[in-house]
Amino acid sequence: MRERKLKLVITFPSTTQAIAMEKKCGENGAAGRLIPVPRQISAGCGIAWCAEVSEREYLEEFLGEFGVQYEHIYEIKI
């Protein structure tokens, strides 16, 4: 079994917002990727953005700047 690592997980109210995050991050070189929402979290659309915890401040600003709607930002071991 692999070791779980602390990650930043951002959940979204809809798949549309999750895909918008992926598109904007790709266009702007932001780190991370889409993942299924971890079992520890119950969230709207079932898709989440996963990145390193060190990217939290940057991604919070990024979400606001590009108007991507999100539900919650978690720091969990996955």
Considering the domain boundaries, does residue 13 fall inside one?
yes
Q: How much is the pLDDT for 42?
A: 81
Would you state the pLDDT for residue 43? 73
Number of separate domains in the chain = 1
How far, in Å, CA of 67 to CA of 63, rounded?
A: 6
Spans of the chain, pLDDT less than 50: none
DSSP 7-18: EEEEE-SSHHHH
Look at residue 49 in the predicted model and tell me its pLDDT: 98
* CATH code where residue 43 lies: 3.30.70
Residue 1 belongs to a domain = no
pLDDT (tens digit, 9 = 90+) per residue, 41-53?
Answer: 987 799 999 999 9
The domain in which residue 50 lies consists of 6-77
For the entire predicted model, the pTM comes to 0.94
Rounded to the nearest 10°, the torsion over CA 13, 15, 16, 21 is 90
